[in-house]
Structure 1
């Protein structure tokens, strides 16, 4: 055997050993040795990377960075493990409707009058959402300036751990066939890719209907190099300005544990970084609380200005969702989004089904109750009868549409200087006419699906679509005013009955607040890696790309060390 053969053999052997080494120290959730309560932490800590937020992006980022550096994750919520409301598909709405102080979901109402939620748990939004998994379009990846090869590898890294093929039972199959009958073509089968037409996407629920969150990606972590502190609420990022330096340098963070004791975490050396991964609400909020944001706004709250940055909190967007609930004459499965119709005009059609879905649709907290009605004259008794019927039969589902983008954007402002308080958030739903037109076209597709032959066995023939529209207009889906024409004009219907699909993003856009490498403009030692950097929502659902981005940037950062 020649020298070349031995060299090749040695290189291959080294690769195999490295591969196994990467997994020999892995641990399985929920039995992570590195998961601790913040109150157990010492007063001062020093790490290579301090990640603020153990969410959808933060977990992937932390697991990756821990391969070759020490990592501290500061998560304001608790663990998703051991919580059946998070684990079980049937309990999807339980956490969203839970307003208790310990809930993994922190509710808020946008200034638009739309009910919303933000995650407060390890794993972030992946512990609360409907689980649909679909990659960003090729065009989105290209426009973001990402390395396409590393993007593909990063998606696959996520998918090996937390993504599954859904079972596709009767309801979802009928929606799929109805979409095809409605002209959302071609049929692309099962795929993670963003493809025009109708397809079956991935899900983070396994075949036992158990959820797998981004926290499971920590199984990739090196347990010797990582600590995850739970119930660690970051109050602010600290900065220093050494003599002769023109930029402030992020030096550490101040956080408090669940009993209110303050702790400090510091960068270990000049190569170390602080990384904000607190999400589209938390990241711009924490930047402002730390003194980076619009100068007048910060001064109004008594916050010392570190850097005047007027674009922090700007460009907030939420993909608006409108839907029709459909009572069913036959029992149907509990299912969350599995099928999607990706239209050429910019609307995405999905569906969910089951008893808990219908109960939640008609749920209204007492403080949000109202006797207001804009029902057409003579239909009030019919609508009340339908509400009673659906509550009694608890059979049915919802077909929804959401628009891409969106083009319409708003802003975020501080309400208080308490990081646990929700800021003011305005999304300006349908401010731009193109967004509204996409909603109207999406609703027309939904109506075609409901009227399709494929879907006929899941609807009562004596209940016309118009009555379903009337029912939504008179349901407590938000706090927005109702207009008389909302039942007969789809544009007004979209405006009056808009809901969130929890895909909000923005507030720290690339090119405005962060550089293409996600370093915060104007300061050193600080990056933002999460959905707050997105100018538009990537594809039908952002969670795949948010997880991918954590892995992707973790690899990029390690390559710079």
Structure 2
């Protein structure tokens, strides 16, 4: 009832916050520094938390004799939501979902309001240990924000729908010695999840699905996309459907997890429709602290904290960890499963010496390049007009249906396309499995002289690498965040490959007749990075310095409990069972053998679907 009440006001509420803040290109900075809008978001968070505390207390949830469920799922994010949906579907088994957050803040449904959520309870602000070769603008400290709500990071992410490359999954199958993880096998899982209404619906690949719960839509406000595609075609770069499984190299309009103009997360697709199932229960604001085992290492229950009270729940059949790439290995290590020496350093009794738990961490480092200026408008408009607000509120369409970015120089710069290109490095120069992922944005800059300048810029991320980092405990206390070490660019060739991509994209913009006709040049209103001023711009030396200074992880963390053939190289087997135990599985992005070559949201849902199928087959 309360959630429905709040949801009715979510659209005008979010639009009002954005509109009243002022200049849309300054909303994010003003919201952070002056708290405009943020306090209202936090008020919603507090109302939702208090409501859940009141209702759970009235219903005496978790109180009295020990509760038992057939399946206890820890984490209701991209993967956990799918698992909960599938395991409770036939009504034969009881399922409890322990979620550390609550329902998504209603404002999260508005794509344009996404950045306002970053100061809310919906985002956990993890940071890494200082890096020597990345994030140097921030003292080497990289940020790793993750979602904390039903839907997990799918409730706060950038909405981009990306299956990644078929060869990613063929590699998983090869590493695990299990063909169930090949693209030919996981394709059915992707299709079963998908209800495709994206940009390529009229000429849709047979690899797309039409009956799944995950709606795939489109953000249609793409100023400059026609000029971009003309320049790409002029340079021989193909245009097509990157999610078709048939088109691995080139550029595409961006498909998004959008339905009727609003965010469509795993919460909307898989949790909200099933909340009334009698055999399914959600405990919100329930933070798992320990897995319990019997004398044969069979997982029997979970301790958790909820609204300040410690509780315990038993599992009749299995416990499934879907807490995410940081909190899943943390929970395992706190429970005695992890590298022996590390656990002993924190006085944690070792149940299973599993060296791969918390190891093999990967994310995609990337940069936002200096912008290009043009002397002709490509259609980027003042989208906060009364007409545009009315169009969005009534129809869910128009310029307000856009996703803002806060990467690099831009805030509220619409993403107009994404693409895959390959570096020249001999091990990665493969158009069938590219190693670089590119996003194109347009933005209007307003420099100190007050004269607006329309610009285009690109982000580029390294999406294939052998480099791995670690996730380790800071202490034996569940309330302490983990220590995240990305070890970015310890392989120097990773930087060189990003430089290849920068040079490739620079050629597209500066040396195509399409953009030359628009008077394109490097913007003079964005100063060169002072830390790199000793290097001539745009030399490779300057860009190399620039990458070390500005490169950040692109929020695609994976592989901290990766699956594999044995405990020496992996934390779980190819059926996602934790080595050395029974009754315990991991089903989230931490089981990825290595990071796929793009966004991890939809691959995580696929793993949820595959994991649920494996469990159901064994029932």
Measured against the shorter chain, the TM-score band is 0.7 to 0.9
Alignment partner for residue 115 of structure 2, among 73, 76, 93? Answer: 93
What residue number does 2:312 align with?
264
Alpha-carbon separation, structure 1, partners of 2:595 and 2:235: 25
Which one of the candidate residues 189, 192, 210 is aligned to 1:157? 192
Match of 1:41 in 2: 61
- Tell me the CA shift for residue 554 of structure 1: 0.8
C-alpha spacing 1:223/1:533, structure 2 compared with 1 (3 Å): same
1:508 shift after superposition:
0.8
CA contact (8 A) 1:293 1:311 kept: yes
**1:211 counterpart residue number:** 263
TM-score, length basis structure 1: 0.77
Contact 2:122 2:148 in 1 (8 A): yes
Distance 2:587 2:354 in 1: 18
Q: Which of 262, 281, 294 is equivalent to 1:227?
A: 281
Match of 1:250 among 299, 302, 309: 299
| Whole-Å separation in 1 of the counterparts to 2:289 and 2:436 | 39
Check 1:110–1:127 CA distance in 2 against 1; reply closer, same or farther (3 A cut).
Answer: farther
Name the CA shift for 1:234/1:126 in 2 (closer, same or farther; >3 Å): same
Shift of 1:296: 2.3
Paired with 1:314 and 1:307, the residues of 2 have a C-alpha distance of: 15
Q: Cα offset for 1:107?
A: 4.1
Cα 1:91–1:219, aligned 2, differ >3 Å: closer, same or farther? closer
Where does the alignment leave 5 or more consecutive residues of structure 2 unmatched? 9-50, 132-140, 174-178, 196-212, 382-398, 404-413, 424-434, 565-569
Corresponding residue of 2:547: 494
**Cα distance change of structure 1 residues 42 and 435 upon mapping to structure 2, 3 Å threshold:** same
1:439 and 2:498 equivalent?
A: yes
The answer as to whether partners of 2:162 and 2:598 remain within 8 angstroms in 1 is yes
Q: 2:460 matched to which residue of 1?
A: 401
- Tell me the distance in 2 between the aligned counterparts of 1:492 and 1:546: 34
Partner of 2:36: none
Contact 1:74 1:230 in 2 (8 A): yes
Distance 1:339 1:288 in 2: 41
Conserved 8 A contact 1:347-1:441? no
172-181 or 496-505: bigger deviation:
172-181
Distance 2:462 2:71 in 1: 37
| RMSD, matched Cα | 3.1
Matches within 5 A, 1:84-163: 84=107, 86-96=108-118, 98=119, 102-112=121-131, 113-145=141-173, 146-147=179-180, 148=183, 151-160=186-195, 161=213, 162-163=215-216
Q: Secondary structure at the match of 2:78?
A: coil
Give the structure 1 partner of residue 25 of structure 2.
Answer: none
**How far apart are 1:255 and its partner, in Å?**
0.4
**Equivalent residue for 1:339?**
417
Determine if the alignment matches structure 1 residue 423 to structure 2 residue 458.
no
Match of 1:551 in 2: 609
Which runs of 5 or more structure 1 residues have no equivalent in the other structure?
1-26, 359-385, 475-480
Higher RCO (C-alpha 8 Å, min separation 6): 1
Q: Match for 2:293 among 239, 242, 247?
A: 239
- Secondary structure class of the residue paired with 2:319: strand
**CA offset at residue 499 of structure 1?**
1.4
CA contact (8 A) 1:353 1:398 kept: yes
Pairwise CA distance, 1:30: 7.8
After superposition, the C-alpha distances for 1:507-526 in whole angstroms (9 at most, x for unaligned) are 11112111011101111111
Deviates more, 1:132-141 or 1:309-318: 132-141
- d(CA) in 1 for partners of 2:516, 2:223: 12
Match of 1:299 in 2: 344
1:456, distance to aligned residue in structure 2 (A): 5.8
Inter-CA distance 177–49: structure 2 relative to 1 (3 Å threshold): farther
Q: Which of residues 560, 577, 586 in structure 2 aligns to 1:519?
A: 577
Q: How many residues align?
A: 475
| Partner SS, residue 439 of structure 2 | strand
In structure 2, C-alpha distance between the alignment counterparts of 1:195 and 1:426, rounded to whole Å: 30
Q: Secondary structure at the match of 1:164?
A: strand
8 Å CA contact 1:315–1:506 kept in 2: the answer is yes
1:314-341 per-residue CA deviation (whole Å, 9 max, x = no partner) reads 1111101111253676435544545222
Report the counterpart of residue 274 of structure 1 in structure 2. 319
Shift, 1:549, TM fit: 1.2
Equivalent-residue separation in structure 2 for 1:273 and 1:93 (angstroms)? 37
2:370, 2:522 within 8 Å by CA — same for their partners in 1? no
